[in-house]
Amino acid sequence: MTSFSNPPPHRYTGCGFDRAAHRRQDSAWLADARRAPATRTLLLSGLQVLVTDRDVPAVALATVAELGRTLPENAVFLGEQDGHALFAADFGPAAPPGARFVELRAVGAFLEPCEAGWCAYARGLVFWHGRHRYCGACGGRTIGEQGGHVRRCQLCDAQHFPRSDPAVIVLVTHDAPELGSRCLLGRSTRFPAGLYSTLAGFVEPGESLEETVRREVLEEAGVVVDRLAYRSSQPWPFPASLMLGFRAEARSDALTIDPDELIDARWFSRDELLDPEARPVQLPNRDSIARHLIEDWLYEASPARK
């Protein structure tokens, strides 16, 4: 098997979706779009998204005509899709017949890629709004503007913009003549039982991505790495990160685990991980860049990749 779970562009990216940033400062256009019958709405309840109640869920978009009401001013403008405006709006916890509100992580791997991207985009903005109701400069209340892409302080007039926290995620490998190629996977206290994943950590101020990779791997597993190579990136809206994927080679396979970071870390060969029925551990979810980094290494020696 050489079928990738989540190849680039990874799940939760925009898939070329038109964010129509030029519309955000056009208050008249936004007001018209909020009441236009063909405007589409991604319905939310808090951070949960509305999906169809089927074996294979899909995002349950609704037009303004179907809702029978104008969208509220705090509806978040996402962009334009097929010539129509797309907003995200919260109308409370009551789901219409044939649909249900769910956490995006529970269904993200099963949605169409563009739908998953819309949901991640909407979830990230709504999360940001909920945590920036007050100004970080003076403490005054803030209000949403520009279709939900800015919050402005009503006291000092400071503008606040959505942020994504950069984080590195790295698959560390080691080659030894007697053992062959192996990859390093670790287990955090936050993981479900049996799950092992790649190492990851947030970028600190004044730090390059390469420095973060080296520091995080050394801190968590006591491993010094060389030959870093950037692979790909993924927006990760749980809650608001941008995951920057790397591959790195370890100088040694000796491990010194930091128990505050990991409860276990091990080296795994391809033979141990290739067969889903025989794996000694559970791999990360299929919607994650961690899963792709692992599969990219697993399958690169396959004849189908040559």
Q: Residues 213, 274: one domain?
A: yes
The verdict on residue 110 lying in a domain is: yes
- What burial letters (b/e) apply to 156-173, b meaning 16+ CB within 10 Å? eeeebeeeeebbbbbbbb
Coil, strand or helix at 99: strand
**CB atoms inside a 10 Å sphere around CB 229:** 10
Burial (CB < 10 A; 0-12, 13-18, 19+), residue 208, is exposed
Structural domain total, the chain? 2
Residue 158 has pLDDT above 50, yes or no: yes
Give which of 264, 245, 268, 247 is closest to 256, Cα–Cα: 264
Average pLDDT of the chain is: 95
Q: Residues 189, 298: one domain?
A: yes
Q: What is the mean predicted confidence (pLDDT) over 268-273?
A: 96
Q: Is there a contact between 15 and 59 (Cβ–Cβ < 8 Å)?
A: no
- Give the percent of the chain with pLDDT over 70: 98
Q: Residues 216, 273: one domain?
A: yes
Give which of 125, 139, 134 is closest to 87, Cα–Cα: 125
**CB atoms inside a 10 Å sphere around CB 110:** 16
Q: What is the pLDDT of residue 305?
A: 53
Where does the pLDDT of residue 15 fall: very low under 50, low under 70, confident under 90, or very high at 90 and above?
A: confident
Q: Residues 174, 218: one domain?
A: yes
Q: Is there a contact between 154 and 140 (Cβ–Cβ < 8 Å)?
A: yes
Range of the domain at 84: 21-131
The verdict on residue 147 lying in a domain is: no
Where does the pLDDT of residue 248 fall: very low under 50, low under 70, confident under 90, or very high at 90 and above?
A: very high
The verdict on residue 151 lying in a domain is: no
Where does the pLDDT of residue 188 fall: very low under 50, low under 70, confident under 90, or very high at 90 and above?
A: very high
Q: Residues 115, 204: one domain?
A: no
Q: What is the pLDDT of residue 306?
A: 40
Beta-bridge partners for 151: 144, 160
- 9: preceding bond cis by omega (within 30 degrees): yes
Q: What is the pLDDT of residue 1?
A: 45
Angle at 228 between CA 224 and CA 231, to 5 degrees: 135
Cα distance between residue 298 and residue 300, in whole Å:
6
Cα distance between residue 114 and residue 238, in whole Å:
18
Which tens digit of pLDDT belongs to each residue from 106-151? 999 999 999 999 999 999 999 999 999 999 999 999 999 999 999 9
The verdict on residue 160 lying in a domain is: no
Q: Residues 106, 234: one domain?
A: no
Q: Residues 286, 243: one domain?
A: yes
Q: What pTM value is reported for the model?
A: 0.93
The verdict on residue 2 lying in a domain is: no
Cα distance between residue 274 and residue 294, in whole Å:
10
Q: Residues 185, 229: one domain?
A: yes
Q: Residues 63, 188: one domain?
A: no
CATH label of the domain that carries residue 222 = 3.90.79.10
CATH label of the domain that carries residue 62 = 3.90.79
Where does the pLDDT of residue 4 fall: very low under 50, low under 70, confident under 90, or very high at 90 and above?
A: confident
The verdict on residue 204 lying in a domain is: yes
Instruction: Provide φ and ψ at 86, rounded to 5°.
Output: -125, 120
Q: Residues 112, 211: one domain?
A: no
Q: Residues 182, 290: one domain?
A: yes
Query: In the chain, which ranges are E strands?
Result: 40-45, 48-52, 62-63, 76-81, 84-90, 99-102, 142-145, 150-153, 159-160, 165-176, 180-187, 199-202, 225-236, 241-250, 264-269
Q: What is the pLDDT of residue 194?
A: 96
